[in-house]
């Protein structure tokens, strides 16, 4: 069918065309189906049906289609229902249990980056990985494809280090402390982090409470060369861009998929030019991985992928049976970080100890001797705090660190949950406490979340256990309803 172009000057987030309902009927396409546009060359786009925006002989083009296809208002295009794409056929074969080749995985990732796959198709790709699994070779292919379709940072040093935790532990905001310690010690650590997927907040969400985290690649290279480290969101950099599109769907489905996790982490590290990587795999009740044996199986897979790309890697296995730190939610976690860096007397002991442990391992990986003593000395001397302040000021292009810190505010509505009897906390469920935070509105609302007053150990009747922070009373009520039906703190 030949239709007249009508350009819309808005971005849809992916290539979208708008059709009249009668036109869609004649083409035999429905909402979110794909059509093929042809005028010297072919282009595919997703259908949106909206009769009030276009006439029966028109096709509306989103800005993405206009830019890619170079079609102007009044031009005529041949439009017809698209056949099943090659990428969709590959996804279908994976659902059936086929092991994919490097070329096939490359096609899928390339089409994701080009916005040529719908959210439903990406969801099927993720579901196929979840149900059928992926071999280690497929994970290598997936990692390589994700790196290939994005940009790369480049540093002159061969001693670029990085760390990553597989996630799932509430709080656990060790990264800003580790970056500050390692950068002070002279290592270069370009830390690109994600936003929350299934947790209450990600490192990028937390740092964003006081700093600009959306920087360009050349800005990051300059910052790291100047102050040895950065704390930025990887999503805006086009480093492994398919990963961020996949994460959006994972967040919708609340899924954690091993093969995707492996490729996601490793592709980001490779794209950031990291040569030496520390991987933190927490395990235990309430963590993503329940046992040490399972976590070691995952660790071996990281090691195999790192070997394929000539990277030096160290995997550590840490206690994941409860949250790390007291605050859970962007501002609450930032307040914990500041307490540790400033060596406050009430700083969370577990957050400090884990940050020092991981820092010493990364320093050792970077070739620094007596790493345990060095990490502790840098933190307790206040040098790490100075470096953190320096990194934040450079990212903000202003010396406004103190002003930003003073602006941190917690939500105005609170609810304190107390122990109804004397006993002992035997576990704190990370998944459920993260869910409570999300019910309260985290990470979209940085001021909300949960403060954890007690960790595993003895408690007395009337002790404070949790404080909820919310921007509305309704959210507080919803959180209380959730903890009545789901065990957040298990006691005896």
Q: Is residue 156 part of a domain?
A: no
Rounded mean pLDDT for each run of 10 residues along the chain, 492 residues in total: 90 87 93 86 87 92 85 89 87 96 96 83 92 96 93 88 93 97 97 84 95 93 95 80 82 82 92 94 90 96 96 96 96 98 97 98 96 98 98 95 96 96 94 95 96 97 97 97 94 90
Same domain, 74 and 92: no
Same domain, 70 and 97: no
Q: Is residue 120 part of a domain?
A: yes
Same domain, 108 and 57: no
Structure tokens at 274: 């990291």
Same domain, 13 and 51: yes
Q: Is residue 308 part of a domain?
A: yes
pLDDT digits (tens, 9 = 90+) for 3-40: 999 999 888 877 899 999 999 999 999 998 889 898 77
pLDDT for residue 243: 83
Dist CA 50 CA 16 (whole Å): 12
**Domain final residue, candidates 48, 63, 81:** 81
pLDDT for residue 188: 96
Q: Is residue 155 part of a domain?
A: no
Count of domains observed in the chain: 4
Q: Is residue 447 part of a domain?
A: yes
Whole-prediction pTM: 0.87
Over pLDDT 70: what percentage of the chain? 100
Same domain, 397 and 444: no
Q: Is residue 141 part of a domain?
A: no
pLDDT for residue 32: 85
Q: Is residue 446 part of a domain?
A: yes
Same domain, 126 and 240: no
Same domain, 219 and 368: yes
Same domain, 341 and 385: yes
**Annotated catalytic residue within 33, 48, 256, 372:** 256
**Domain final residue, candidates 405, 433, 454:** 405
CATH number of the domain encompassing residue 42? 2.40.40.20
Give which of 204, 208, 159, 167 is closest to 363, Cα–Cα.
159
Same domain, 15 and 65: yes
**Domain final residue, candidates 81, 98, 124:** 81
Q: Which domain holds residue 166?
A: 161-405
Task: Look up 256 and say whether it is catalytic.
Answer: yes
Same domain, 319 and 435: no
Same domain, 222 and 291: yes
Same domain, 242 and 389: yes
CATH number of the domain encompassing residue 462? 3.90.1170.30
Bridge partners (DSSP) of residue 280 are 165, 316
Q: Is residue 149 part of a domain?
A: no
């Amino acid at each position: 069918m030949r239709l007249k172009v009508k350009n819309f000057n808005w971005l849809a987030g992916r290539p979208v065309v708008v059709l009249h309902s009668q036109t869609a009927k004649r083409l035999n396409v429905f909402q979110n189906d794909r059509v093929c546009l042809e005028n010297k060359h072919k282009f595919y786009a997703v259908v949106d049906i909206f009769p009030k925006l276009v006439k029966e002989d028109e096709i509306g083009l989103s800005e993405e289609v206009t830019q890619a296809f170079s079609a102007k208002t009044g031009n005529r295009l041949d439009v017809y229902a698209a056949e099943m794409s090659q990428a969709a056929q590959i996804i279908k074969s994976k659902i059936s249990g086929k092991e994919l080749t490097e070329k096939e995985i490359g096609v899928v990732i390339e089409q994701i980056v080009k916005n040529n796959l719908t959210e439903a198709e990406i969801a099927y790709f993720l579901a196929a990985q979840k149900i059928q699994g992926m071999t280690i070779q497929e994970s290598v292919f997936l990692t390589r494809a994700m790196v290939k379709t994005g940009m790369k940072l480049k540093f002159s040093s061969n001693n670029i280090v990085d760390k990553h935790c597989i996630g799932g532990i509430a709080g656990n905001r060790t990264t800003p402390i580790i970056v500050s310690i390692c950068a002070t010690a002279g290592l270069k650590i370009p830390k690109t982090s994600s936003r929350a997927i299934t947790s209450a907040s990600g490192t990028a969400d937390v740092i964003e409470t006081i700093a600009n985290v959306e920087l360009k690649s050349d800005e990051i290279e300059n910052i790291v060369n100047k102050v040895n480290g950065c704390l930025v969101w990887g999503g805006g950099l086009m480093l492994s861009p398919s990963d961020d599109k996949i994460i959006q769907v994972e967040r919708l489905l609340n899924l954690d998929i091993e093969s995707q996790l492996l490729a996601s982490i490793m592709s980001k590290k490779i794209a950031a030019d990291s040569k030496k990587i520390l991987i933190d795999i927490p395990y235990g009740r309430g963590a993503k991985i329940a046992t040490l044996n399972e976590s070691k199986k995952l660790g071996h897979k990281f090691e195999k992928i790192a070997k394929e790309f000539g990277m030096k890697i160290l995997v550590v296995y840490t206690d994941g049976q409860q949250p790390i730190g007291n605050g859970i939610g962007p501002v609450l976690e930032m307040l914990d970080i500041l307490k540790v860096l400033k060596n406050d007397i009430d700083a969370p002991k577990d957050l400090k100890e884990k940050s020092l442990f991981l820092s010493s391992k990364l320093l050792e990986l970077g070739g620094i001797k007596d790493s345990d003593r060095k990490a502790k000395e840098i933190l307790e001397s206040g040098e790490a705090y100075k470096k953190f302040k320096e990194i934040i000021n450079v990212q903000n292009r202003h010396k406004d660190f103190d002003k930003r810190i003073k602006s941190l505010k917690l939500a105005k509505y609170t609810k304190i949950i107390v122990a109804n009897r004397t006993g002992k906390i035997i576990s704190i469920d990370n998944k459920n406490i993260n869910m409570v935070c999300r019910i309260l509105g985290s990470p979209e609302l940085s001021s909300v979340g949960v403060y954890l007053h007690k960790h595993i150990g003895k408690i007395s009747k009337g002790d404070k256990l949790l404080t909820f922070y919310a921007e509305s009373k309704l959210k507080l009520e919803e959180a209380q309803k959730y903890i009545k039906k789901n065990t957040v703190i298990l006691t005896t």
